[in-house]
Structure 1
Amino acid sequence: MSCLFIFIALVLSSCVFGSLTTSATALDQTCGNKVVNTIVVDQSGSSGKFRKVQDAIDSVGLGNDLWIKIKVKRGVYVEQVTIPMNKSCIIVEGEGQRVTTITYNGNKATDVSTTFTSHPSYVVVRNLSIMNTYNRLDSLPTTTSNGMSWNIKPAVALNVYGDKSAFYDCDFLGLQDTLWDNQGKHHFKNCYIEGAVDFIFGQGQSIYEDCKINATAGALASKVALGYITAQGRQNPSDPSGFVFLRGSVSGSTSVYLGRAYGPFSRVIFIQTELSSVVHPLGWDSWHCDAHKWSLTYAEVECKGAGSDMSGRVPWIDKLSYSAAKQRFSISNFIDQDGWISNIPSF
């Protein structure tokens, strides 16, 4: 896949670094700061009006501009969920990671086989698991019934297009292309993200705060000798996008690069992250954008752990200081300049 092809595909603090401070500009009051209505989803039918998450979303009025909570009771919901562009200000809330799960077995084009797709701005998802089971079930055969080898294909769990969207205490599980951080400013906090190949990718402008990254191919470990955590698609120097990993950890069972270039100005920063021995000594891969490798912004700032040894890293890695990282990539400066995060209703 060339950089040109990628471009065409993508065109469609307080004392503690990373605290949720707001800038001096006026707060973004879109959607208000209170939930005005709660819709309950219960697949057992014992409570709530709806048995499917998508039915509850469909019931929200077009042009919605006040926070509506969709409370999803415990259970495994086998369905594709899409929040359309004209339905902002929606909170989808489960009862806990691995307690409430939305899952689907999609393996066609990434834009139509995603388990959970969010199009509008101002969407919050919390306390649930989102999974694409394709290529990751423990019971998945490595060969088909006719003896042909099983092909690993992109299978997206989450695709987020909308600006100013947040994901708290969620699991995202897949193998290839698990989380499509497509575009817009996003805040992921206390999340668990699992996969092996480009499993956090896209052109989003996002901070992953205190997230656990698990690099594993599961049942297909023998098919994936080497993986990649990120494939970030920044296209030019003025493009504000980038992935910032603040604290959290990288672990797993599959050797992985921290990232490979999904665009000629790809940008990924790991700050104070615990890196286990699964991180490949080279750390980063310029992929099909080798001619632009000195334009890539890849940095590891005050990371620790067995995988944080910088002596074998690629020579074109960024030498970013902690003070510079704090200034440029804090939550308040990178994604929350107008305080939209502070306006999200509490539980």
Structure 2
Amino acid sequence: MSTPRPDNPARTARPGGTWGCASLIVRASDFSARNLTIENSFDYVGNLDSPRFQPIGPNGLQAVALMLDQGADRSHLVDVDLVGHQDTLFVDAGRSLFRGCRISGSVDFVFGAGRALFRDCELQSRWRPGKPRQGYVAVPSTPAAQDCGLVFEHCRLTREARVPDASVALGRAWRPGRTFADGKYGDPDVLGNAAYLSCWMDAHIDPVAGWDAMAYTARDGQRVMLEPLDARLYEFDSRGPGAARSPVRRWLDAEQAAAFSPARVLAGWEVAA
């Protein structure tokens, strides 16, 4: 996810980074999909065991299934399976609504800067051999001036059979690098926003930490961590064996949760049934 966007994102025999690996890229408004599968079938687990690529970004294993890129808006997906491992779903632009979808992945598998509402979806964490931290679900890069980012309503957080208890984070906040007049560093105008509202969580969700920190490059060139409590990462009415309260799992009250209404998340876009 830290890979710079290439001028020409054409596919090659080498890993293309986040913006060069997607199975499907949407750059237009009013995209819709129903009752199908969008998959990036890159052999993630096989390449952990026997690496074949030079690293790009943190590990060169980005494999986006669906990217909602600049120009996308009012994207509507119903009963769609989105299948991948690292970076499965990149919702980086516009407004989007996912209803009854199943999204599977491991590392940062729902991420980006867009306004996205997930209703009655399944978020399945996949197994990564040899990794104590099996993965991260929601990784927003929401502009600080934007009031809503990735919002999950009445969703189910599930796992593959080999994913251990307490091994997956609800997410972490991504501060991507941006080029400024004085250099390239983590964009200070980005402050991730994600909320889980009345979601059921299996025991693979870390009951104590809940959310993890994520590194970015500061203006002085140092690598620093964006801590969960320094971003906008919330829960309300979480349920199931993975639901817990801790000092770093911030729970909203009912009035605060109401601020993440569909009308507000989708900024006035009304979607027909």
- TM-score tier by shorter-chain length is 0.7 to 0.9
Q: Out of 237, 243, 246, which is 1:308 matched to?
A: 243
Q: CA deviation at 1:135?
A: 2.5
Q: Which runs of 5+ in 2 are unaligned?
A: 8-12, 53-58, 176-189, 216-223
Higher RCO, Cα 8 Å, sep 6+: 1
Q: Does the alignment pair 1:272 with 2:198? A: yes
Q: Who is 1:55 aligned against?
A: none
Q: Who is 2:30 aligned against?
A: 122
TM normalised by structure 2 equals: 0.76
Alpha-carbon distance in 2 for matches of 1:212, 1:242: 18
**Match runs of 1:1-347 below 5 Å:** 107-136=15-44, 142-143=49-50, 153-161=61-69, 162-217=72-127, 221-226=128-133, 227-236=135-144, 238-253=145-160, 254=163, 255-263=167-175, 265-281=191-207, 282-288=209-215, 290=225, 293-310=228-245, 313=246, 315-326=247-258, 328-335=259-266, 337-339=268-270, 341-342=271-272
Return the letter of the residue paired with 2:266. Answer: I
The structure with more helix, counted as a fraction of residues? 1
> For the structure 1 residues 195 and 295, does the alpha-carbon distance in structure 2 shift closer, same or farther, using more than 3 Å as the test?
same
After TM superposition, the runs of 4+ consecutive aligned structure 1 residues lying more than 4 A away are none
CA contact (8 A) 2:194 2:234 kept: yes
Once the two structures are superposed, residues 242-262 of structure 1 have per-residue CA deviations (whole angstroms, 9 ceiling, x without a partner) of: 111000200104321001110
CA contact (8 A) 2:233 2:250 kept: yes
Identity of aligned residues (%): 25
SS at the partner of 1:175? coil
Once the two structures are superposed, residues 257-300 of structure 1 have per-residue CA deviations (whole angstroms, 9 ceiling, x without a partner) of: 00111035211100110000000121001222645644311111
Return the letter of the residue paired with 2:231. Answer: L
> For the structure 1 residues 225 and 120, does the alpha-carbon distance in structure 2 shift closer, same or farther, using more than 3 Å as the test?
same
Return the letter of the residue paired with 1:337. Answer: G
- Pairwise CA RMSD: 3.0
Alpha-carbon distance in 1 for matches of 2:50, 2:229: 41
- Aligned length, in residue pairs: 232
SS at the partner of 1:269? strand
Q: CA deviation at 1:241?
A: 4.2
